[in-house]
Amino acid sequence: MNTITVVGLGAGDLEQLPLGVYRLIKGSETLFLRTKEHPVVNDLTAEGVEFHSFDEIYEKHDRFEEVYEEITQILVSQAEKGPIVYAVPGHPLVAEKTVQLLLELQQEGKIDVKVGGGQSFIDALFASVGADPIDGFQLLDGTSLRLQDIHMNQQLIIGQVYDGFIASEVKLTLMELYPYDYEVMLVTAAGSKDEQVERIPLVELDRTAGLSNLTSLYVPAVKGMEDSFKQYGTLREIISTLRGPDGCPWDKEQTHQSLKKYLIEETYELLEAIDEDDIDHIVEELGDVLLQVMLHAQIGEDEGMFTMEEVIETIASKMVRRHPHVFGTVEVEDAEQVTANWDKIKQQEKGGVEGQEPMLKNTAKGMPALLKAYEYQKKAAKVGFDWPDAKGAWDKVWEELKEFESEVEKSSETAIKKEFGDILFALVNVARFYKIFPEEALAMTNSKFYRRFSYVEEKVHSSGKTFDDFTLEELDSFWNEAKNKNIG
């Protein structure tokens, strides 16, 4: 099996090239370069070194994955004819996808790969920006930068920021977290005689000239907590501090039980914001709901029972398991099939078979009565216990109304209450046939009543009188004014 020897051209000039690498390159009969766009290459050419480069392959493909795969295929094919040397910028094991692909093939027994030396551009870059890597850093690829991979409390080195398009993509991603005027540094040809270091505000990143395949972006770590409020880790730290020895007395004394009412309150306030279609309010209320989740998770950690990571793992695992049509090979045609699969998988996870326990036993536990009625009916309908159409549901409403009227005439308090509950239950059934979520419908009516009654209240106050000074007919006229003005 012939060998591919991979060496690094370093980050700068020929003088910085390790002697062993220099000798290997000079003595190689077949030398391939991933790219000839490197400061060392001109010096090697001047010394008569002959090579083949893969620059033209970059022009053939739209995706880097395809470029790297073709380069790897060519190298393997050439190695079948005899030993070759493959030289890459920097160090072979730092940000070199083609080398990783070759090493994978070696593990499969298809090729023999030897990794030589080389100076990583990381050393030169840290020297260029005057920073210490011991403070912690991330090395990220500008062509595939993901928001969730970024840790603001660490230094970032983002490679392959070689043109305006990539720079723009990187800028937009970073500005999801960092201020637009956050100072970053563009470093080109680090460690060479052509080195350039430019300090710029983040917003100017894609407006800078001189970007090339030798350009990397350095983003300093944020210093203050207030600069990293957008990161999950910062929120986690804040909650931990509030519950810690020197934290807030109120937060420290909370329990799962004491927080229950706040979770309910914040959830309903979120629903109200959604009904109002108020984006800023939705953002605020989502934060309040998340706060409750974080507090419960922190209590679990403080008590040694569970952590937030376990909460996240549980829901992430559940989402993957219950969406085999997305994360697996199952095929579905519509949302109804998705729901059916979800219920089937849920039943399997609970280790049971349908019919082994009462169907409604674990349905809508802890929900308000209106929501529970809706869930009970929906569950029963799945096994055919349902009216064939909405007419049957409407007939039941009229039947329950008559029974209610009958009990009212008898003045039986308990019976009246039961029959009124039957009316509500029957109306929930009607709502289900028209695909109306009753809780949402009632919430909308509550909001409408609030706004229209506020108008009536405003009219009363502006008159200088009190409610007692108005008849019901007069107050009702104010209500109709609000209605005619489309208030609510």
Mean of pLDDT values over 115-141 = 90
12-15 own/partner pairs: CB under 8 Å, 24+ apart: 12/39, 12/40, 12/119, 12/124, 12/189, 12/190, 12/191, 12/192, 12/193, 12/195, 13/39, 13/40, 13/43, 13/191, 13/192, 13/193, 14/39, 14/40, 14/43, 14/44
Mean of pLDDT values over 157-181 = 95
Examine the pLDDT at 352 and tell me if it is beyond 70.
Answer: no
pLDDT in tens, 245-286: 999 999 999 999 999 999 989 998 998 898 888 999 999 999
pLDDT in tens, 184-199: 999 998 888 888 999 9
- Name the residue among 173, 175, 171 with its Cα closest to residue 208: 171
Name the CA dihedral angle for 388, 390, 393, 395, rounded to a multiple of 10 degrees: -110
The H or E element that residue 183 is part of is strand 183-188
Q: List all residues 6 or more positions away from 20 whose beta carbon is below 8 Å from its beta carbon.
A: 116, 117
What is the C-alpha separation between 322 and 337, in angstroms, rounded?
Answer: 12
Examine the pLDDT at 131 and tell me if it is beyond 90.
Answer: yes
Q: Are 33 and 45 in contact (CB under 8 A)?
A: no
Mean of pLDDT values over 118-138 = 91
Mean of pLDDT values over 9-31 = 87
Examine the pLDDT at 237 and tell me if it is beyond 90.
Answer: yes
What is the C-alpha separation between 228 and 250, in angstroms, rounded?
Answer: 25
Give the pLDDT confidence score for residue 1 in this predicted structure: 64
- 23 falls in which pLDDT band (50, 70, 90)? very high
Give the pLDDT confidence score for residue 305 in this predicted structure: 96
* Tokens 């563009």 found at: 186
What is the C-alpha separation between 312 and 309, in angstroms, rounded?
Answer: 5
What is the C-alpha separation between 188 and 170, in angstroms, rounded?
Answer: 16
What is the C-alpha separation between 319 and 231, in angstroms, rounded?
Answer: 23
What is the C-alpha separation between 344 and 338, in angstroms, rounded?
Answer: 10
Q: Which domains does the chain have, with CATH numbers?
A: 3-119 (3.40.1010.10), 122-228 (3.30.950.10), 232-306 (1.10.287.1080), 369-436 (1.10.287.1080), 441-485 (no CATH)
Helices H / strands E in the chain, number of each: 19, 10
Greater confidence (343 vs 355) lies with 343
Q: How far is CA 29 from CA 5, 37, 85, 133, 190, in A?
A: 12, 21, 8, 38, 30
Give the pLDDT confidence score for residue 353 in this predicted structure: 54
Tokens representing residue 239 in the block: 């909650």
Mean of pLDDT values over 305-320 = 96
Q: At what angle do helices 256-276 and 279-302 cross, to 10 degrees?
A: 160
- Name the residue among 205, 126, 118 with its Cα closest to residue 168: 205
Q: What rounded mean pLDDT belongs to the chain?
A: 91
- Name the residue among 434, 405, 437 with its Cα closest to residue 422: 405
Give the pLDDT confidence score for residue 383 in this predicted structure: 84
Examine the pLDDT at 202 and tell me if it is beyond 80.
Answer: yes
* Tokens 């998770």 found at: 297
- Name the residue among 336, 206, 232, 248 with its Cα closest to residue 287: 232
- 354 falls in which pLDDT band (50, 70, 90)? low
- 357 falls in which pLDDT band (50, 70, 90)? low
In sequence order, what are the beta bridge partners of 201? 183
Percentage of the residues of the chain whose pLDDT score is greater than 90 = 70
